[in-house]
């Protein structure tokens, strides 16, 4: 136990005794996040309510060298919020107020414990769109989204979370509360700390408030689906769509194994004889959406699609999107442990990479299915194993190691949108090189001299 | 002289004697950039050709504690590329190769000495758009654009340079060559060094190559102009346009003094009786552009516009844009020294801020005219004085000090797109606070332990 009783009493003095927990039964839920196979039991779980409370906690932790792991909903898939070195898990879900939604300025200001969906809904109520839509959005917090620079299904046209963070309030590990950026789209006063904190996975500071950019809500949105004999044909279609000057909001794919699993799970009426499914969607003025989707459909037909269907109504469009969104739960039913990864390659190499993934999985004797963001080259290869099959789990991890190597070899990366966490830190040097890793550590030390904030993750 | 002869000989050994200059006549052009009143004569000017040469130079400079100031075209307006502490000006314009333009991947890879226009033209030749379009684009280098996170006339819809940098090759002050990011839109492996380098004004590393995102070239673009009795009316129109869910590519304004100066300079047929001119433009499918501009025109008419004109052809649209682009040269004719600034406020406070600027200028007895990006709240108040009038120059700088304070007081910033440099470093603490300034210095030290890279600028 790295947190002694005196520290516990001080934590209670800061946040109130109700919001500090050390009993085994109370801390157990915080020993895991959404990442399978990783587990670490914290010594204490603390729920602060204000930035000032967070500052007092971090000051104390730095003075006593106690690890602090910030956490939102814990829906991350990279073991990014586990207390590997013990210490305190700092849960930010009590800080869940939507402080402001401004139509005039196209922005929202929220505490970081707000869920992504709550932010989206509050924006939508004023006719505005919060563009990032990560898969876990109904439970994930905005703070967690910013800390991991979360992506989502609209990334191709709209970009990822980093493009929408205008400003942040962050508490430094030494207790200072800083405000980076603000309410402006254009502000170059100082180093871009807003972006440096975005994607820093809770290792540089604890985000307590963010200001995010909103957009006018598009007047309409629609979705279509195309089936292809092979994933390579689908890849050709994606290249032709982009080549025709169309960058739709959504361009997602499922491989044959995913299609089968999704159909068995959700009975959406998907074809079982296709090698790949391409889901495409766009939003904007109704006639523009109609025109873009029709053109995409034609391009798919011209590039060997077996069948192309545009959703005839909103309900059907939602059902098609559901095919993509339920890929993970559908695959999860095939075993008792689902390990989903996030390798990314340049867009034209998507099909080649899926071929490599299949070959790698076969060589390690593990079943794999792959879905993901075709427009971004962002793949989610998913291996399903039995949670009691230690050797199977070991083979799965070895397969992912090879998959990461293959992605890097294609000028790709080990994570497009899920984060590094503890799960992928062992592969990060392969991606960045030793010089850049050393620089990351020096930056980490510039923020966190005592190394108390989420140790064992980025910057370690 | 901080650079002794031994160092000069070593520099010559690295880049060749032709590319090292120390004679007064040779270094004089590098004693200024585009910022009036600032001047600093370097000891030497060096033109490297490769990242490896840059690495050797920086390693030498760190070992000998010689300041190095990286420079592209020197078109910045913040005294960001002057050798205030002597030493070497490192001119990157020989590194001007366009290495790749990929239609498949919608990206370009260029050496950083390439001009913005050369990059735009190379992209356009393949039917692609490089979205950032800073005012100095015909001479400015892409490296300079990235180092200052340059904006431009299309920022409202397309965002600024930071949104388009996918990857960078940077040489650290200690000589390591690192590659950040790469060819991917989504890549969260490690801290976002790409964005940290973007806008770091040459204080953290020397950029030698960048990979930037391109977009399909919009099928059409058009422009319109509206005249208003007062700037406040124009501000109301801007709010109503955004409120109607339209985010056009361009939404620029000129105040009455700017309109007069531009008309006198360029004879574009602008009205002389208006209090403000609003220039609006959009791009995309022809019918969508037509529809958006018509709607914007209607909104302007509904919000007290005296007159609204849509350009009837491309030549006329270019002429209208020219009204905005020539604001700076037009104002420059009114005196022998033009000091242009870059304060930014939240969009709804634009007219209020211009009112404050006028009052501040009057109280300091200096003439001011203001134009800028109405959609972003990004203002360019411009004071024209006689270059021999020391007292007038002093009063101009005092006025800008008050303008920056006023902008900060309105939740704005001291620079939206031009950078901090030496010119605005004295005001940066007011914007960021002492804690954040200290953090900037620690980050600077993490990159540049000897403090040789562009000293006296950000991180100092």
Q: Which string of DSSP letters, residue by residue, matches A75-95?
A: --SSS-S--TT-SEEEE-TT-
Query: Residue A296 class from Cβ within 10 Å (0-12 exposed, 13-18 middle, 19+ buried)?
Result: buried
Element of type H or E holding A152:
none
**Shortest Cα–Cα distance, A246 to chain B (Å):** 7
DSSP track, B162-212: GGGEEEEEEE-TTS-EEEEE-S-S---SSS-HHHHHTTSTTSS-EEEEEEE
Contact status, residue B234 vs residue B304, Cβ threshold 8 Å: no
* Predicted local confidence at residue A1, as pLDDT: 55
- Residue B198: its chain A contacts at CB < 8 A? 192
Choose among B185, B245, B411: nearest Cβ to A155.
Answer: B185
The residues of chain B that CATH labels 3.30.70.2740 are 334-419
Q: Which residues pair with B110 in a beta bridge?
A: B98, B210
B198 touching A, CB under 8 A? yes
Question: Is A104 near chain B, with CB under 8 Å?
Answer: yes
Q: Express as a percent the part of chain B with pLDDT over 90.
A: 93
Listed in sequence order, the residues at least 6 apart from A23 whose beta carbon sits closer than 8 Å to its beta carbon are none
**Are the Cβ atoms of A215 and B188 closer than 8 angstroms?**
no
Which chain A residues have a beta carbon less than 8 Å from that of B184? 344-346, 376-377, 412-413, 416
Whether the CB of A332 is below 8 Å from some CB of chain B: the reply is: no
B355 pLDDT more than 60 = yes
- pLDDT at site B324: 86
Q: Which CATH architecture has domain A222-308?
A: 2-Layer Sandwich (3.30)
Q: Are B42 and B86 in contact (CB under 8 A)?
A: yes
CA distance A45 to chain B (A): 27
Among B156-165, B321-330, B369-378, B430-439, where is mean pLDDT lowest?
B321-330
Tens of pLDDT along B113-162?
999 999 999 999 999 999 999 999 999 999 999 999 999 889 999 999 99
- What are the DSSP E strand ranges found in A183-287? 206-213, 215-216, 220-228, 250-255, 276-284
Do the Cβ atoms of B373 and A156 come within 8 Å? no
Task: For an interface test with A, give the residue of B188, B249, B440, B447 to mutate (most A CBs within 10 A).
Answer: B188
In angstroms, the CA A424 to CA A227 distance is 33
From chain A, pick out residues whose CB is under 8 angstroms from the CB of B285: 288, 291
**pLDDT value for B319:** 84
Q: Judge residue B55's burial from the number of C-beta atoms within 10 Å of its C-beta, 0-12 exposed, 13-18 middle, 19 or more buried.
A: buried
User: What are the helix (H) ranges across B303-389?
Assistant: 314-325, 327-332, 350-363
What is the number of residues in chain B?
A: 460
Alpha helix locations (H) across A138-205? 142-148, 155-158, 193-197
| pLDDT for residue A313 is more than 90 | no
Listed by number, the residues of chain B in 371-430 with a beta carbon closer than 8 Å to a beta carbon of chain A are: 373, 376-378, 411-420, 424, 428
CATH code assigned to B220-310: 3.30.70.3450
Spatial distance between the Cα atoms of B324 and B320, rounded to a whole number of angstroms = 7
User: What DSSP assignment string belongs to A194-217?
Assistant: HHHHTTSTTSS-EEEEEEEE-EEP
pLDDT of residue A425: 97
Report pLDDT digits (tens) over B180-204: 999 999 999 999 999 999 999 999 9
Q: What topology is assigned to A334-418 in CATH?
A: Alpha-Beta Plaits (3.30.70)
Q: Which residues of B touch A347 (CB under 8 A)?
A: 104-105
DSSP code string of A381-446: EEEEE-TT-HHHHHHHHHHHHHHHHHHHHTT-BS-SSS--TTTSHHHHHHHH-HHHHHHHHHHHHH
Q: pLDDT tens-digit profile of A104-113?
A: 999 999 999 9
Q: Half-sphere exposure (CA, 13 Å, Cβ side) for A60?
A: 21
Give me the phi and psi of B100, to 5 degrees please.
-170, 140
> Is there a contact between A346 and B184 if contact means CB atoms under 8 Å apart?
yes
Whole-number pLDDT of residue B197: 98
Nearest to A424 by CA among A332, A319, A343, A355: A343
- % of chain A with per-residue pLDDT over 90: 93
List every span in chain B annotated with CATH 3.30.465.10: 98-216
Task: Tell me the longest C-alpha to C-alpha distance in chain B.
Answer: 71
Assign a CATH topology to domain A5-93. Answer: 3.30.43
Q: State how beta strands A276-284 and A307-310 pair.
A: unpaired
* A291 in contact with chain B, both atoms CB, cutoff 8 A: yes
Least Cα separation, residue B295 to chain A (angstroms): 14
Mean pLDDT value of segment A439-456: 98
Distant-in-sequence, close-in-space partners of B447: CB < 8 Å, separation ≥ 6:
A439, A442, B172, B173, B203, B204, B205, B453
Question: Which member of B196, B247, B416 has the closest CB to residue A186?
Answer: B416
- Between B255 and A318, name the one with better pLDDT: B255
Rounded average pLDDT over B415-432: 97
A359 sits in the region (left: phi over 0; alpha: psi -120 to 50; else beta) called alpha
The CATH topology of domain B334-419 is: Alpha-Beta Plaits (3.30.70)
B199 touches chain A (CB under 8 A): yes
Residue A343 to residues A185, A352, A353, A378, B194: CA-CA distances in angstroms?
A: 31, 13, 9, 6, 19
The separation between the first and the last C-alpha atoms of chain B, rounded to the nearest angstrom, is 21
* Residues contacting A288, CB < 8 A, separation 6+: A282, B285, B288
Helices (H), A104-230: 116-124, 142-148, 155-158, 193-197
Delimiting residues of CATH 3.30.43.10 domain(s) in chain B:
5-93
Average pLDDT over residues A218-234: 96
Which CATH architecture describes the domain B98-216?
A: 2-Layer Sandwich (3.30)
Average pLDDT over residues A299-323: 89
Residues of B in contact with A106 (CB under 8 A): 242, 247
CATH code 3.30.70.3450 region(s) in chain B: 220-310
Q: Dump the DSSP string for B19-66.
A: GEE-SHHHHGGGG--SSTT-----SEEE---SHHHHHHHHHHHHHHT-
- Inspect the interface and report whether the beta carbons of A185 and B149 lie closer than 8 Å: no
| In contact, A59 and A2? CB cutoff 8 Å | no
DSSP 8-state class, residue A322:
H
Dist. CA B306–CA B275, nearest whole Å: 10
- CA distances B194 to A167, A409, B124, B370, Å, are 18, 20, 25, 33
Please answer yes or no on whether A196 and B200 come within 8 Å at the CB atom. Answer: no
Mean pLDDT of chain B: 96
The pLDDT, as a whole number, for residue A301 is 97
Average pLDDT of chain A, as a whole number? 96
At residue A196, does pLDDT exceed 80? yes
| Separation CA B296–CA B374 (nearest Å) | 14
Contact list, B187 vs chain A (CB under 8 Å): 344, 413, 415-416
Orientation of helix B256-266 relative to helix B314-325, angle to 10°: 120
Element of type H or E holding B102: strand B98-102
Strand-pair partners of B383: B339, B368
Length of chain A: 460
Burial class (CB in 10 A: 0-12, 13-18, 19+), B302: exposed
Yes or no, beta carbons of B344 and A187 under 8 Å apart = yes
- pLDDT, average across residues A233-242: 96
What number is the ipTM of this complex?
Answer: 0.97
CA dihedral over B243, B244, B246, B250, signed as positive or negative: negative
Q: Are B174 and B59 in contact (CB under 8 A)?
A: yes
pLDDT band at A421 (very low <50, low <70, confident <90, very high): very high
Do A418 and B188 lie within an 8 Å CB cutoff? Answer: yes
A interface mutation test: which of B147, B178, B191 has the most A CBs within 10 A?
B191
Checking if the pLDDT of B17 tops 60, the result is: yes
pLDDT of residue A319: 84
Question: How many DSSP H helices and E strands does chain B contain?
Answer: 16, 18
Stretch A27-54: mean pLDDT, rounded? Answer: 97
């Amino acid at each position: 136990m790295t947190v002694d009783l005196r520290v516990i009493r001080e934590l209670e003095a800061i946040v109130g005794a109700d919001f500090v927990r050390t009993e085994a039964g109370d801390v157990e839920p915080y020993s895991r996040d959404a990442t399978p196979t990783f587990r670490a039991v914290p010594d204490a779980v603390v729920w602060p309510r204000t930035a000032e409370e967070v500052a007092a906690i971090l000051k104390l932790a730095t003075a006593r060298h106690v690890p602090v792991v910030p956490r939102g909903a814990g829906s991350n898939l990279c073991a990014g919020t586990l207390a590997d070195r013990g210490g305190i898990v700092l849960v930010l879900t009590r800080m869940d107020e939507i402080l402001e939604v401004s139509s005039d300025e196209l922005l929202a200001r929220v505490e970081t414990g707000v869920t992504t969906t709550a932010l989206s809904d509050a924006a939508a109520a004023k006719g505005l769109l919060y563009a990032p839509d990560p898969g876990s959005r109904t439970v994930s917090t905005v703070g967690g989204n910013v800390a991991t620079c979360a992506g989502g299904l609209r990334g191709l046209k709209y970009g990822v979370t980093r493009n929408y963070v205008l400003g942040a309030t962050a508490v430094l590990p030494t207790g200072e509360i800083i405000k980076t950026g603000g309410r402006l789209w254009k502000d170059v006063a100082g180093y871009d700390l807003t972006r440096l904190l975005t994607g820093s996975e809770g290792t540089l500071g604890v985000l307590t408030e963010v200001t995010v950019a909103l957009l006018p809500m598009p007047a309409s949105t629609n979705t279509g689906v195309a089936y292809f004999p092979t994933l390579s044909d689908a890849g050709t279609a994606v290249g032709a769509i982009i080549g025709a000057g169309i960058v739709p909001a959504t361009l997602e794919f499922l491989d044959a194994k995913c299609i089968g699993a999704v159909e068995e799970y959700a009975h959406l009426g998907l074809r079982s004889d296709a090698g790949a499914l391409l889901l495409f969607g766009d939003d904007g003025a109704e006639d523009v959406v109609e025109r873009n989707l029709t053109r995409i459909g034609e391009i798919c037909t011209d590039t060997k699609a077996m069948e192309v269907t545009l959703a005839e109504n909103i309900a059907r469009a939602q059902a098609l999107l559901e095919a993509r969104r339920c890929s993970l739960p559908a695959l999860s039913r095939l075993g008792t442990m689902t390990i989903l990864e996030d390798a990314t390659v340049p867009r034209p190499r998507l099909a080649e990479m899926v071929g490599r993934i299949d070959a790698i999985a076969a060589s390690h004797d593990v079943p794999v299915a792959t879905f993901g963001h075709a427009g971004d080259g962002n793949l989610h290869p998913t291996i399903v194993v039995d949670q009691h099959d230690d050797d199977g789990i070991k083979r799965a991890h070895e397969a992912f190691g090879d998959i990461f190597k293959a992605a890097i070899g294609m000028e790709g990366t080990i994570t497009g949108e899920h984060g590094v966490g503890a799960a992928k830190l062992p592969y990060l040097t392969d991606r960045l090189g030793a010089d850049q890793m050393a620089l990351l550590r020096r930056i980490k030390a510039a923020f966190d001299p005592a190394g108390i904030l989420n140790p064992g993750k980025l910057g370690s």
